[in-house]
Structure 1
Amino acid sequence: MWDKFQNIFRIPELRHRILFTLAMFLVFRVGSFIPIPGVDVGALARTPIFQTGAFGLMNIFAGGALQRMSIFALGIMPYISASIIMQLLTVAIPRLEQLSRQGEEGRRKITQYARFAALPIAAVQGVALTVWIQNMEGGAFVSTQGVGFILPAVITMTTGTIFIMWLGEKITEMGIGNGISMIIFAGIVAQIRPAIGNVIKITRTGQLTPFVLLIFAIIAVFVTAAVVLIYRAERRVPIRYARRIVGRKVYGGQSTYLPIRIGGVGVIAIIFAISVLLLPSTLARFIPHPITQEIARWLSPGALLYYVLYALAVIFFTFFYTAVVFNPVEVADNMRRYGGFIPGLRPGRPTAEHITTILTRVTFVGALFFASIAVLPVILNRELLFNSFPFGGTSILIAVGVALDTVQQMESHLLMRHYKGFMKGA
């Protein structure tokens, strides 16, 4: 295994990509400690509002930047919300649907539209957040109030979101892995050390027994192993290509398979579900009215309604995003164009229907698994650790999914240069 890791640094391109990604992580972490002007960081550190609930989850994805009210306090969530809107509009607006079918160039334009849409979303979230911070405990967390605090803070946080978007694009272009997912991954990993320290602290006070801690550790290992298994699992549809003779050359006559992954869109579906579900509860907290506060309580992590809606949202976005990225009719047409067929089925419509049936079943299994993993560990954390460990199934799913995708990209670089990969049998 050590030889395989050494092979990474023997490839100049891969080595440069990994070092560039680590450098971007360092920039992201430094920015998460730079506070916006006019905020009392010491007073904010003593309040528990950013430890649990909707703000606690947003704080994890931002790598603790929200708790410190840094220039990256909004994180990448405005861009994710804009991406969700663009994905939904792609289905509803024919012009965007045509762009999505134009390959890489069309997707690049849709991504550009999402960047523009992220700006007003970040500005609105920044105004709501700064007004809420200003009004907390009679302005105890800010040194100045009014426009003199709100305007510079909103401009700073919106600019921070734009900068994070740029970091993500540069990681995708010049680093390793998907840039946006890697930024979220970096934020989650950065919170592991404080979380472990918190668990050790309450264990020393006697609130947690070593036996309960051991049980939770075993469950965490089991959940992580199950996530890895599901992410790597796939349904292989056999495909055969007819033999063709062109001149003196013979083409085709070989057998292969179409891989349909169970966890193909797991990370994206979970991120989308969280973004949609946190929006109403977050906005409701900013409106000082009993009805909105009750809505925020019911839609915050820890409430039964939140878990039910969260599971349903994960299932919905798993099916939705699978339908966006995988078109069985297009796959069947491409197979027929190159002389491929599934044994026992005619090319064309019967093949497309067969692939659709398999895709629906595989997606259903994956959606149920992701919904269960996203909800159950949070409940166990609340019952066993008294919410002392801020990580749940959501963080595990995102972290493991991004890590596996990154390892697969590194392995592809190794295999192209005739090195052994990380995966078994590679």
Structure 2
Amino acid sequence: MFRTLRDAFKIQEIRRKILYVLMMLVVIRFGSQLPVPGVNTAFFANFFANNTNDAFSFLNAFTGGGFDNFSIFALSITPYITSSIIIQLLTIAIPQLEEMQRDGEDGRKKITAITRYVTVGLALFESIAMAIGFGNKGLITEMTVVNVIIVVASLTAGSAFLMWVGEQINDKGVGNGISTVLLINILSRIPTDFVKLFKQFIKGQTILMGSLRALLILAIVLAVTVFVLVLNGAERRIPVQYSKKMQGRKMVGGQSSNIPLKVNTAGVIPIIFTSSIMSFPGIIASFAGKTNVGGWGGKVLGVLNSANWFNRDNMFDTLGIILYIVLVVFFAYFYTSITFNPLEVADNMKKQGGFIPGIRPGKPTVEYLNSILNYIIFIGAAGLTIVAVIPFFFNGMFSAQVSFGGTSLIIVVSVILETLKQVESMMLVRNYKGFLND
């Protein structure tokens, strides 16, 4: 990794792209500390201290503390992520969107424009809900129409600006812009989390006990990171053989290839979907001021709140982990069924004269791909669940309240690996150009 970056900085074009990304990251971190005018910046800090709802903690981790400070980037690029997921799901239900998706570059530009509009709409809706829901509780210092408009405009503009930054990184930098914004926000919280772990488990202990605890914490983090690396890179390669055919006076074809199916086919999407759905009732209760609901309503909110799982004083709420696992597996299958179509893959292979050795083209190929896909999706979903549940276990059993978890770790690892791959490919292309010029 460090060698790749060192070699990349020797190339002017790549160095300029990397420095551009670094400059944008500085802008993002500066904006995350710039408070919205007319608000009490300590409101959410006190709110998090007195509220164990994991819904806003999850959002705060994705905004790099911008939500805690209630900065102009408090919404971060979560509206864009939600918008992208919604548009992707709607391509199944709306034929016009499906046609745009297949219509090459022009179609993709139209879908991108629609995604932008939906992003601004979602950011506007979320900012209005926050301004009204928390304004009267002390968030806005003077609850007037002008102050509410300022808060709504600041949050919406901040989210739209981050969306623009992500697109600029795509065009002028390296890596995926939106993923890079998420990455820097998550990384910015990790030093604070390690300081919390140090104060909670190591500070005040003897040298021997403190060293053992520090080694144990590092071993757990390292083990989970290695597991995420394996899960992110694991794939099942299905061999494909292309038959020879006459083209003019030449015999072409006959090459061997493969279809790489990633074990973690859906990425981190199932965890994001599941966390969003399970945290939604808690968010609504917080907006309505019903955080201390009694009866069955309180029990349901307690079960859905991951902050209560694996609590030794109340193991009943840990039943929510069952629903969590079921939803992760469901969304893993659901999202993969949207992004990977075995029938389309089989048809494309057949048109190009390709076949899987030992499997007849057509329906048998589709059935074979489905059976392989169902098997690896389950393995990927199981791996995702393990990565996500480990932080819940330690947070509940040992009260290790940190913002980064399985979701954050998967995002960090996958974004870094993809960015390094892009840098390596850019260096490779440049080397080929230099060879041809010589």
Q: How far 1:28 moved relative to its partner?
A: 0.7
| Runs (5+) with no aligned partner, structure 1 | 420-426
1:302 has 2:315 as partner: no
**Contact 2:44 2:67 (C-alpha < 8 Å) held by counterparts:** no
1:204 has 2:209 as partner: no
2:435 corresponds to which residue? none
1:404 has 2:417 as partner: yes
Q: 2:150 aligns with which of 149, 152, 160?
A: 152
Amino acid at match of 2:22: L
Deviates more, 1:214-223 or 1:124-133: 124-133
Q: How far 1:52 moved relative to its partner?
A: 6.3
Deviates more, 1:24-33 or 1:72-81: 72-81
Deviates more, 1:359-368 or 1:408-417: 408-417
**Contact 1:81 1:275 (C-alpha < 8 Å) held by counterparts:** no
| Runs (5+) with no aligned partner, structure 2 | 309-317, 433-438
1:378 corresponds to which residue? 392
Which residues of 2 match residues 20-419 of structure 1 at below 5 A?
20-42=20-42, 44-45=44-45, 48=49, 53-136=54-137, 139=138, 141-202=139-200, 203-205=202-204, 209-289=210-290, 290=293, 296-303=301-308, 304=318, 306-384=320-398, 386-418=399-431
RMSD: 2.6
Distance 1:255 1:4 in 2: 30
Distance 2:281 2:168 in 1: 31
Evaluate the alpha carbon distance shift between residue 4 and residue 401 of structure 1 in structure 2; reply closer, same or farther with a 3 A threshold: closer
Evaluate the alpha carbon distance shift between residue 346 and residue 334 of structure 1 in structure 2; reply closer, same or farther with a 3 A threshold: same
Distance 1:108 1:268 in 2: 23
SS at match of 2:88: helix
Evaluate the alpha carbon distance shift between residue 277 and residue 13 of structure 1 in structure 2; reply closer, same or farther with a 3 A threshold: farther
**Contact 1:267 1:397 (C-alpha < 8 Å) held by counterparts:** yes
CA deviations 1:204-229 (Å, max 9, x no partner) are 24599543443232121111101101
**Contact 2:77 2:159 (C-alpha < 8 Å) held by counterparts:** yes
TM-score, normalised by the number of residues in structure 1: 0.89
Amino acid at match of 1:339: G
Q: How far 1:172 moved relative to its partner?
A: 1.9
CA deviations 1:71-97 (Å, max 9, x no partner) are 001111122222232233222223223
Amino acid at match of 1:370: L
SS at match of 2:66: coil
1:5 corresponds to which residue? 5
Q: How far 1:69 moved relative to its partner?
A: 0.6
**Contact 1:335 1:341 (C-alpha < 8 Å) held by counterparts:** yes
Amino acid at match of 1:105: D
SS at match of 1:302: helix
**Contact 1:84 1:272 (C-alpha < 8 Å) held by counterparts:** no
Evaluate the alpha carbon distance shift between residue 325 and residue 164 of structure 1 in structure 2; reply closer, same or farther with a 3 A threshold: same
**Contact 1:127 1:154 (C-alpha < 8 Å) held by counterparts:** yes
Evaluate the alpha carbon distance shift between residue 142 and residue 212 of structure 1 in structure 2; reply closer, same or farther with a 3 A threshold: same
**Contact 1:76 1:180 (C-alpha < 8 Å) held by counterparts:** yes
**Contact 1:38 1:142 (C-alpha < 8 Å) held by counterparts:** yes
Aligned residues: 415
Distance 2:79 2:3 in 1: 41
Q: How far 1:198 moved relative to its partner?
A: 1.8
